[in-house]
Amino acid sequence: MTFRAMLAATAMVAALAGCEQIGSFTEQPVQAAQEPQFFENAYAARSAGKFSLPPIPEEEIPVAYRRQIVPYETTEQPGTIVIDPAHAVLYLVQPEGKAIRYGISVGRDGFGWSGTSVVARKAQWPTWTPPAEMIERQPSLEKWRDGQPGGPTNPLGARALYLYIDGKDYGFRIHGTPEWRTIGKRASSGCFRMIQQDVLDLYERVPTGTKVVVLTPEGEIPTKLTLPPPSPKPKRAAPVAASAAPAKVETKALDAETTDVPDEVEAESADTLARDAARALEAAPAATPEAEAPAASFKPEVEAVAGTEIERGTETETEAPATAPAAPATDEAEAEEEAPANPVFVTPVR
């Protein structure tokens, strides 16, 4: 082999090696999808201070609403709470593009809101005091007007985070609930319910002053505060009309009609009548005997006058027919029952 042939062969081998290196460099490794990380024994029985929490059957909780760590991209800082009402989930932002996600129950139709708030204070086994508007909607809550002590049946559950907006308390809370089956549904009056074990976990992770962002129904960061419209006041009961008393006709005896006649005229009339009677007897032929007609029985004349009877100038008192009693007015005030929990229609995206 000549020297020139050796150089040509060496150049060809180098070129082939370079193509192989370029092909290896452009290949991209396939990334496996990140699976959510669930918490072991997250819903087991546990002590919660004054009371203990019973276990929750985890298999009965939809997978989407179990406590888990998921990828979550956001511009919010770690430690921020982001609530997504459209998907009924709450995120506690973590470093490295992740978040702890909890299933929640959100406000039913007409009670939703969006905006930015802060955790102003926290409470263990808090007292629940229904607002006056809620008592008007549900009169059965009147017994708790001064507050229901904390306990296993208290609607605020084992823990509560009180949300204030610009320093004002609008009554919104993140709290536990003994009705854990409402998680993933629209069932509250604007608060965010959590499974008891989940609210204990969140309570221990966030301090007061934590920022809370409630997304819009479209899942966007809110640019302003949007509150639910005022609740309509229940209709008051119409006053019951009193039954009409039977009308009574006031009557009095009629006075006998008299005519004043001078004595001279009265005497002259009597004499004239006597003379006329004598002349009539002289001119009349003798009467033939005939069977006497039976004497007609005398009946007083009775005249009905507008519901009364007049007999021989004396009015007998009778009652006019009583008017029918008025029907009682329908009670239009209805105690509002808690609306049935409506399911949230959008499933959280893993």
Which tens digits make up the pLDDT trace of 101-131?
Answer: 999 999 888 889 999 999 999 999 999 998 8
Query: Residue 340 domain-assigned?
Result: no
* Catalytic one of 66, 98, 175, 186: 175
State pLDDT tens for residues 49-85. 999 999 999 999 999 999 999 999 999 999 999 999 9
The answer for residues whose C-beta is within 8 angstroms of residue 147's C-beta and 6 or more apart is 127, 128, 129
Closest CA to 118 of 212, 196, 242: 212
Is there a domain that residue 209 lies in? yes
Model confidence at 219: pLDDT above 90: yes
- Is 100 contained in some domain? yes
> DSSP label at 345?
-
The gap from C-alpha 223 to its chain's centroid, in whole angstroms, comes to 29
Could you tell me if residue 126 is inside a domain?
yes
Determine phi and psi for 207, rounding to 5 degrees: -95, 170
Tens of pLDDT, residues 147-171: 999 999 999 999 999 999 999 999 9
Does 303 have pLDDT greater than 50? no
> Is 175 a residue of the active site?
yes
Question: For residue 173, is it within any domain?
Answer: yes
> Does residue 148 sit in helix, strand or coil?
strand
In a domain, 266, yes or no: no
For residue 135, give the CATH number of its domain.
2.40.440.10
- Name the band, by pLDDT with cuts 50, 70 and 90, for residue 35: confident
pLDDT, the chain, mean: 74
Number of domains comprising the chain = 1
Residue 305 lies in a domain: no
pTM tops 0.85 = no
Residue 5 has pLDDT above 50, yes or no: yes
Has residue 332 been placed in a domain? no
Catalytic residue among 89, 106, 165, 191: 191
CA distance 338 to 333: 16
pLDDT-derived band at 229 (thresholds 50, 70, 90) equals confident
Which H helix or E strand runs over 172? strand 168-177
With contact defined as beta carbons under 8 Å apart, do 213 and 224 qualify? no
Number of H helices, E strands in the chain: 4, 17
pLDDT for 133: 86
Please give the residue range of the domain that contains residue 209: 37-224
